[in-house]
Amino acid sequence: MSVRRWIQYWGAAWLWALLAGVGTLCAATEISQYGGAKAVWPTTWTALNNLNDPRDSGGKLDFVGDVNNPGAYWAMDQDYVYFRMRMDVGTVGSNTYGDALFVFIDNTPPTSNPTPDYAFTWDSKGSAEDHGLEMQVPDRTGPNWIDTRMDDLDGLNAKKGPEDINGLISGNTYRTGEGYVRSVDGQTTDNFGTTSFVDFAVAWEYLRAKTSLDTGQSWNVAFGSIANATDHNFIREDVAGGVGPGDSVNSGWSGGFDPGGGPSGGPEEVPEPSSLVVLSVIALTSYMGVSFRRAKNTAVEKTAI
């Protein structure tokens, strides 16, 4: 067998094997968990420093990540700021979560001693209409995370008021488009098996109107979770960054970054598994097409001689 035929044979075998595995590799499912279906999400995310985390108890509320597959990301555009957390669960449905997940934000100097000033909180224990993605401020802070508890910005813990994300207009009418939460499961990793992402999007317009958060500031970010309870409880399940609920509330933070001056170090692509498969198939198909055409043209030339 010639070298060309050998390459074609084994290339074709590899391609069919890859295609046979597409069903497994393309198992990622995106679910709009709150706020409806957002038309556009980032395709480029920047890894946040210091928030990688080893596997602890495992499961949907366990933050995980390492240098190969970071545990935390952020992104922004002119309309929204975004955060992404990696969870130690491979498959997520619309009813998987009945808990609370927090993106804590510190934007008050000194950055060497961060504590929560605000939080974007997905409360999936309560009803989506009255809870969902909420804007929170501290109720009690430290000394440890398990001693820390947040309160709604609007002071209404049982429903959404006018000051909350997607807040009340009047009667049973609420604003829309100010915040979204989605899950994207089926994310393969080198050391954690199959994981999933929970993504947050909050509108700059809302933040400028209702909080002191804006672009051009220095933010620290931390992630926390509470199991089987609303967001008005103490942070008792997990904290990202290699710390836990029993550690100081000043630990587990990303370090300062500027959500307006551009991400330091440049953006990092986070392709979905399906994207990797498609790119591989396209590249191999293109190569094999060229190879087969060359072989065909060679045969025609030989016949014509």
What is the phi/psi pair of residue 249, to 5°? Answer: -65, -15
Q: Quickly count: other Cβ atoms within 10 Å of residue 304's Cβ.
A: 6
pLDDT classification of 233: cutoffs 50, 70, 90: very high
Whole-angstrom distance, CA of residue 165 vs CA of residue 132: 9
Residue range 58-76: average pLDDT? 98
pLDDT classification of 160: cutoffs 50, 70, 90: confident
Peptide bond into 110 cis (omega under 30): yes
Residue range 63-76: average pLDDT? 98
Q: The pTM is what?
A: 0.79
Contact 275, 284 (CB under 8 A): no
Residue range 216-233: average pLDDT? 95
Residue range 299-303: average pLDDT? 31
pLDDT classification of 296: cutoffs 50, 70, 90: very low
Nearest of 276, 251, 22, 217 to residue 114 by alpha carbon: 251
Residue range 87-106: average pLDDT? 97
Residue located via tokens 């072989």: 295
Whole-angstrom distance, CA of residue 216 vs CA of residue 107: 11
pLDDT at 108: 81
pLDDT classification of 130: cutoffs 50, 70, 90: low
Residue range 202-231: average pLDDT? 96
End-to-end CA distance of the chain: 24
Has residue 278 got a pLDDT over 90? Answer: no
pLDDT classification of 299: cutoffs 50, 70, 90: very low
Residue range 193-203: average pLDDT? 98
Query: Which residue type is seen at 9?
Result: Y
pLDDT at 261: 56
Has residue 157 got a pLDDT over 90? Answer: no
